[in-house]
Amino acid sequence: MKYFSLLLCLLPLFVQAQNAESTPYYKSYDWTKEPRTFEISEEEKKKDEIILFEKKSVEFINVNDELKKFVLLHRITRLNTDLAIENNNTYYLSSDEDQQINKLKARVIKPNGEMIQVSQSDIKEAKDEDGNVEYKYFAFEGLEIGSYIEYLQYGEEYADLTGSRMFLQSESDKKTIETDIIYPSYLEFQIYPMNGLPTFELDDSDSLKTRMHLTVKDMPGLEDEDWSAYSANLQKCYFKLSKNLARGKGNFYTYTEVAKQIHENMFAPLTKKEKKLVNAFIEKNTKGATSAIDKVRALENAIKQNIPTVEMNFEDDDNIEFILTKKITNEDGLCKLMLNCLREMGLASELVITTDRTEETFLEEFQGYNFLQEYLIYVKDVDAYFSASMYSRIGYPPFEFTYNKGIFISEVVVNGFAASVAKVKYIKGTDYRASIDKIETEVKFNDDNNGCKVEFTRTTSGYKALFYQSIIDLLDEEQKKEMKEDYMKYLDDESSTLENMVFENDHTVDFGVKPFIGKATVISPVFVERAGNNILLKVGMLIGPQAEMYNETERKLPVDAQYTRGYDRTIVITIPEGFQAKNLEDLKINYTPEKGNGTVGFTSTYEVKGNQVIVTVKEWYNTHYFSVEDYPLYEKTMNSAADFNKIVLVLQEKN
């Protein structure tokens, strides 16, 4: 999103109003000549690695009437295992053109006290095929279990004042963390700690600089866990410029301010030529559509299939005339085109700006522009969200932008003047019944009962069908074939052979209207085994592979699933003549926790009709979020499906 370029006019407000000290606070910072010593407990030695000391500093300094950011990182890590050595034997330097490294030092301290210094000549460059430097790196030599690695980096970076973040927590335990945020005394920054990080304290010993500092002892590492929003849950802080005390100016970088700037661009009145082009585009691509949602679907498909997008900004990328005549833009331009089409169609809409909830929880109280990463359009008349992403369609925006807050920008016209109205609101997700994965299987044994033929139909809707239907018309025939085989090999993707594969509703225009349906016969040796005269049918495998969740340690992170979803399975088994099923009751599982209030559960039942056993399985998750306290509900539901996956039906000769 190009919101930074819209706000450059504000930057002169931040130039200093007095001769503040321009010498960086940590300009002469260095490590001790003799390495520091640390006491390590036996319990700490069991960890792969432990960060014994970490110092981070961000300092804003006025240099020739321009604010610059100076960044310090000093870290000492003890390596306790071969895995830790493997993970830390190479250090990668940023290739960001806006970053200038002024000081870089690194060394290895071996268990016997021997030191191995890394010199400038040890720094290597990795280049692409055109000879451009992609990144720089150096290797730590002589590492062994019990070694310490220490490195210190100090340099200058682009001074982003609109909203930044600093991670303090990682996967590794940290014994001591020292952190500073420093800026001229005539400025004021807002610092917002997250996820239990303590509040920064003021050091007012220097009248020319404000130093906000924080020391944390014994911060536990946080490991990534399945189904979690890891980055969003790490202890960190956000910071941004809030006031220029010398100028008497404040309240910089608010959502209201950014909404005004974005409104001027995205809601700009169309010229006569643009209006003519837009309406011609609408008329051409919505013929035959009667309802509002059908018109939006038709228009979206036409836009995404006929106007390629690139992942870069370029001149005229959001110029409506250019987009419709040259047939190229980026996702921002695509969103602007759709917004104007909706306006011309008379459909009430709001522009939404939000962020990836797996990375950041959108904050209302800290109005940093680091949260303003992605455009959506809320089409009020159809109560659904549009995204410019090719892997989305109306009503099903990228899941990471749902179940989060965002700025909703609408336009009001008063006495002929248009103005923006911005409100922070919640971006809701979908009901689980909108995203169903349904499999219907029919099992028939071979004449010798040593194998079986499985005829099955897989039907998906919503997010479960989105990846396939949204892009299928953009693929060539070979790509379509591979994708369809992948879809139908859900039951057994290694040893199976597919026959008689046919599909229904396999076009992009079908998404949201008709489910994606595939039918095939699966020939696989994995479903049937013989045990003497008995036939063993691995009936549990016919619901497809299932994840099993058993944590060896206590769960630390809440579950934050991609979207709500449901699974329906029907298995029809024709029992061979002369055989009977002996353990049908094993097919019964009922987990519908009272505490879940119907939002989660797994059930499996069966009925016998003549020589057929009909098994019905249902699994559903009508909430994306489970607190750590409620995690057992999620785990038990997942494991109920995994338990069913293991069921083997024993068919025994009647005599």
Q: Is 185 helix (H, G, I), strand (E, B) or coil?
A: coil
pTM, to two decimals: 0.91
Q: CA 374, CA 401: separation in Å to the nearest integer?
A: 8
Q: CA 190, CA 239: separation in Å to the nearest integer?
A: 5
Sheet order of strands, 436-445 included: 497-504, 516-523, 452-460, 436-445, 565-574, 612-621, 600-609, 589-591
Average pLDDT for 503-530: 94
What pLDDT, on the 0 to 100 scale, is given for residue 447? 84
What pLDDT, on the 0 to 100 scale, is given for residue 547? 87
pLDDT band, very low/low/confident/very high, at 20 (cuts 50, 70, 90) = very low
> Any idea what DSSP says for residue 198?
P
Average pLDDT for 234-239: 98
Locate tokens 């931040």: which residue?
Answer: 14
Q: CA 338, CA 377: separation in Å to the nearest integer?
A: 8
**317-347, pLDDT tens digit by residue?**
999 999 999 999 999 999 999 999 999 999 9
- Is residue 179 scored above 80 in pLDDT? yes
**565-604, pLDDT tens digit by residue?**
999 999 999 999 999 999 999 999 999 999 999 999 999 9
Q: CA 150, CA 147: separation in Å to the nearest integer?
A: 10
Sheet order of strands, 124-127 included: 90-93, 133-139, 124-127
- Residues 178/126, Cβ–Cβ less than 8 Å: no
| Residue-wise DSSP of 540-553 | GGGG--------SS
**245-254, pLDDT tens digit by residue?**
988 888 889 9
Average pLDDT for 403-418: 90
Please name which of 558, 530, 562 lies closest in space to residue 634, comparing C-alpha atoms. Answer: 558
> Any idea what DSSP says for residue 382?
G
Average pLDDT for 447-456: 89
What pLDDT, on the 0 to 100 scale, is given for residue 134? 77
Q: What percent of the chain has pLDDT over 70?
A: 96
- Is residue 376 scored above 70 in pLDDT? yes
Q: CA 553, CA 628: separation in Å to the nearest integer?
A: 13
Angle ∠(561,564,570) on CA atoms, nearest 5: 115
Which residues does 517 contact at the CB level (< 8 Å), separation at least 6? 457, 458, 459, 503, 504, 505
CATH code for the domain defined by 5-249:
2.60.40.3140
- Is residue 281 scored above 80 in pLDDT? yes
Q: CA 222, CA 554: separation in Å to the nearest integer?
A: 12
- Is residue 13 scored above 60 in pLDDT? no
What pLDDT, on the 0 to 100 scale, is given for residue 7? 46
Q: What secondary structure, in 3-state letters, does 424-482 show?
A: EEEECCCCHHHCEEEEEEEEEECCCCCCEEEEEEEEECCHHHHHHHCCHHHCCHHHHHH
What pLDDT, on the 0 to 100 scale, is given for residue 149? 97
Task: Please name every residue paired with 574 in a beta bridge, in sequence order, or none if there are none.
Answer: 612
Which residues does 8 contact at the CB level (< 8 Å), separation at least 6? none
Q: CA 404, CA 529: separation in Å to the nearest integer?
A: 49
What residue ranges in 128-200 does DSSP mark as E strands? 133-139, 148-157, 164-167, 173-184, 187-194
- Residues 442/572, Cβ–Cβ less than 8 Å: yes
Q: CA 263, CA 411: separation in Å to the nearest integer?
A: 8
CATH topology (fold) of 255-427: C8orf32 fold (3.10.620)
- Is residue 230 scored above 70 in pLDDT? yes
Average pLDDT for 161-170: 96
What pLDDT, on the 0 to 100 scale, is given for residue 419? 87
Task: Please name every residue paired with 608 in a beta bridge, in sequence order, or none if there are none.
Answer: 613
Q: CA 579, CA 654: separation in Å to the nearest integer?
A: 5
Average pLDDT for 93-106: 82
Instruction: Report the sign of the C-alpha dihedral through residues 441, 444, 449, 450, in that order.
Output: negative
Q: What secondary structure, in 3-state letters, does 296-343 show?
A: HHHHHHHHHHHCCECCCCCCCCCCHHHHHHHCCECHHHHHHHHHHHHH
Number of H helices and E strands in the chain, helices first, is: 11, 34
Please name which of 607, 611, 600, 608 lies closest in space to residue 227, comparing C-alpha atoms. Answer: 600
How do the domains of the chain map onto residue ranges? 5-249, 255-427, 432-653
Q: CA 583, CA 536: separation in Å to the nearest integer?
A: 11
What pLDDT, on the 0 to 100 scale, is given for residue 451? 84
Q: CA 336, CA 340: separation in Å to the nearest integer?
A: 6
Average pLDDT for 66-81: 95
* Across 35-44, 361-370, 394-403, least confident range: 35-44
What pLDDT, on the 0 to 100 scale, is given for residue 65? 80
CA atoms within 13 Å, Cβ hemisphere of 316:
9
- CATH of the structural domain 432-653, one choice from 1.10.10.10, 2.60.120.1130, 3.30.1360.30, 1.20.1250.20: 2.60.120.1130
Chain-wide mean pLDDT for the chain?
Answer: 92
Which residues does 464 contact at the CB level (< 8 Å), separation at least 6? 435, 436, 437, 565
**103-154, pLDDT tens digit by residue?**
999 999 999 999 999 987 888 888 877 777 778 899 999 999 999 999 999 9
What pLDDT, on the 0 to 100 scale, is given for residue 414? 82
Task: Please name every residue paired with 600 in a beta bridge, in sequence order, or none if there are none.
Answer: 621
Average pLDDT for 608-624: 97
| Residue-wise DSSP of 65-124 | S-EEEEEEEEEEEEE-SHHHHHHHSEEEEP--TT-EEEEEEEEEE-TTS-EEEEPGGG-E
- Is residue 15 scored above 50 in pLDDT? no
The neighbour count for residue 648, using CB atoms within 10 Å, is 14
pLDDT band, very low/low/confident/very high, at 493 (cuts 50, 70, 90) = low
What pLDDT, on the 0 to 100 scale, is given for residue 540? 95
* Across 118-127, 365-374, 459-468, least confident range: 118-127
> Any idea what DSSP says for residue 232?
H
